[in-house]
A and B are shown apart, each in its own frame.
Chain A
Amino acid sequence: MFKWSVTAMIIFIFLFPVPCRAKTPERIISLAPNMTEMLFALGLGDRVVGVTSFCDYPPEARKKPRVGGMSNPSLEAVVSLKPDIVVMTTDGNQKAFEERLRSLHLKTYVSRARRIRDLAKGIRDLGAALGVREKADRLAADYKARLERIEALKPAGPKKKVLFIVWPDPLIAAGPGTVIDDAIKIAGGINLAGRSIAEYPKYSLEAILRDPPDLIVIGPDMREQDSGSIRKLARGLLSRLRTLPVVKNHKVFYVSDDLYRLGPRTIRGIEELRRVMDE
């Protein structure tokens, strides 16, 4: 009995996200910023009828009706937009919310892609589920090719140690299991915070001095939104580290938020990271 129910559950879990029809839905709601970006990249932007308050890219996404945050969207808002499908992710959306939507007979699509190696498959699956398989396959092929290009051009010399700082005060670094960690490896570097036990560890200043990085990357530098506050906040940190060659030799770089989400901009983010690593 137990065995049977476990088997049934496994079958159920595997069956569920697999799309049944490949007809393009007319009304799509996205509950994650990276999914919104993928939908726009797949040319489905016109069909997106609702997004979260975090969905700020591409700029057109900001004009879409909001249904709330990622972890706490408004059920009422989602239902009232009469979506044909609600696109979600396992990285930030609540499973309970998805169950609630299904109990109201709304169709959902949950993307399980979390790492860069899942990206191509992620967009292909999404495209298949939403009836834009060809476009998705083309995008996936493009991502793959660009990734291979970056990986093929291994930088000369020893691997560079990179510290990717996502918040300067208090100091939070990108650790293992993150898109940024993947990106550093793909770009041919070593993530200094890669062996922490948390995804976004509070990183020790002492550790930086003991084991200094070859370059420091600070993000996201989005002037229009933060009015450059990340640079202001980082000033204190950098003055604490001013004795290190990495700071003396100006190997501190500010990057965009391309690597903060697994989506169409991720590859561009890796390319950007690679560029600053070569500088």
Chain B
Amino acid sequence: MNSMKTGIFFIILVFSAVLAASLFLGPSVINPFAMDGTTKVILFSIRAPRVVVAVLMGTALGASGAVLQGILRNPLADPYILGISSGAALAAASGIVLGLSVFGTFTIPVLAFIGAIVTGGIVGILGWRRGGLWPERLLLAGVGLSFLFSALLMLLLSLSTTEGLRRATLWIFGDLSMSDWSIMPYGLLFVAGGLAVSLWRAKALNALILGDELTHSLGFSPHRERFLLFVAVGLMTAASVALGGMIGFIGLLVPHIARFFLGSDNRFLVPASAVLGGALLCVADLIGRSLIPPMELPAGIITAIIGAPYFLYLLRKKNVLSF
């Protein structure tokens, strides 16, 4: 118990350090005690929102990954496997092609969110049978839809001759640079909501990993729990795609990294994956914007470049993954 307290303290310490570094370091170092007007604008309306978006997205993806690996009983699942991101990308790209601006400056994120939620709904309907969601059906429906939407997106891109659209696809591959405060409350609402449900149902999630019969035997309704958690994952993933496109790696591998240190109990794993995902994306974005200014490198690429070797190192060093 004492070591758990030390662990939590350590995590909070590291997380705060990451937040501070992301805010005050970068292409130029900001001294919080001597700021001029421009510096204030940079800190409060450029860096702060993108740090918050990085934390929200990383948190959402890390937590969704851990939850999804549990409800699908598959350690290789990640939030994008359900096709939610492909649906979001397709909706956003269609919006750009049609020149829609129904939601003003929110148009792309809102379309992405709608695309994600609709896709999640379709996956849910396809995964539904005899009064509940079935993991294998969900997984296959997600993979199938994902292929379909990716193909439709490719079709759209290859039929379109507009140079702008090609650049628009950059958005799909993860962009935090344009983050701003206006959209944050909605993102926060969905991510916090999804995270709260995931934490509230963490025990049931543990039980679900052991199979539906044991879940039932331990006093949970497997179908109800899986449905709640599926909705939570859908909301978190949709919000994260809408906030900044697709960022790979975090959803799949951050839960495994967290498992190396804290074990598999989702009551600790879900929050740890959330915090670790948030911190990792923050650091990746910090590196991406500081390395070769004024050019920025996409955070998603940096995430994988620093995350994957670390994961492989852990895999070599700590022989705890047993599948």
Contacts and interface: CB of A to CB of B under 8 A. Distances in A.
A1 B28 CA distance: 55
Interface of B: 26-28, 37-38, 41-42, 45-47, 96, 99, 101, 104-105, 107-108, 158, 161-164, 167-168, 170-171, 175, 177-178, 180, 289, 292-298
Nearest to A172: B167
A167 B167 contact: yes
18 contacts: A54-B161, A166-B167, A171-B177, A196-B295, A197-B292, A202-B175, A202-B296, A204-B293, A204-B294, A205-B46, A205-B178, A206-B294, A209-B38, A226-B164, A227-B99, A228-B99, A230-B164, A239-B105
Q: Give 4 nearest A-B pairs by CB, closest first.
A: A207-B294, A227-B99, A201-B295, A167-B167
B28 A170 contact: no
A229 B42 CA distance: 27
Chain B CB within 10 Å, residue with most, of A197, A227, A240: A240
A62 to B, nearest CB: 10
A232 B99 contact: yes
Contacts of A206: 26-28, 42, 46-47, 289, 293-294
Contacts of A17: none
A204 B167 contact: no
Contacts of B37: 243
A123 B37 CA distance: 51
B27 A172 contact: no
A178 B49 CA distance: 32
Contacts of A196: 292, 294-295
Contacts of B158: 69
A53 interface: yes
Contact of A209 (B41, B105, B161, B177): B41
Contacts of B42: 206, 209-210
A237 interface: yes
A213 to B, nearest CB: 11
A205 B289 CA distance: 10
B164 to A, nearest CB: 6
Contacts of A166: 167
A54 B157 CA distance: 12
Contacts of A257: 163
Interface string A185-223: 000000011001110011111111111000000001000
A170 B178 contact: yes
B185 to A, nearest CB: 17
A204 B41 CA distance: 14
A167 B168 contact: yes
B27 A170 contact: no
Given A54-B161, A204-B295, A236-B105, 6 more contacts: A69-B158, A172-B167, A196-B294, A203-B294, A206-B46, A239-B105
A171 B289 CA distance: 13
A225 interface: yes
B170 A202 contact: yes
A56 interface: yes
Interface in A72-119: none
A270 B120 CA distance: 49
B289 A204 contact: yes
Contacts of A232: 99, 101, 107
A203 B295 contact: yes
By CB atoms of chain B within 10 A, which of A197, A207, A235, A260 has the most? A207
A242 to B, nearest CB: 10
A151 interface: no
Nearest to A69: B158
Interface in A35-78: 53-54, 56, 69
Nearest to B160: A53
A169 B101 contact: no
Contacts of A236: 105, 178, 180
Contacts of A197: 292, 295
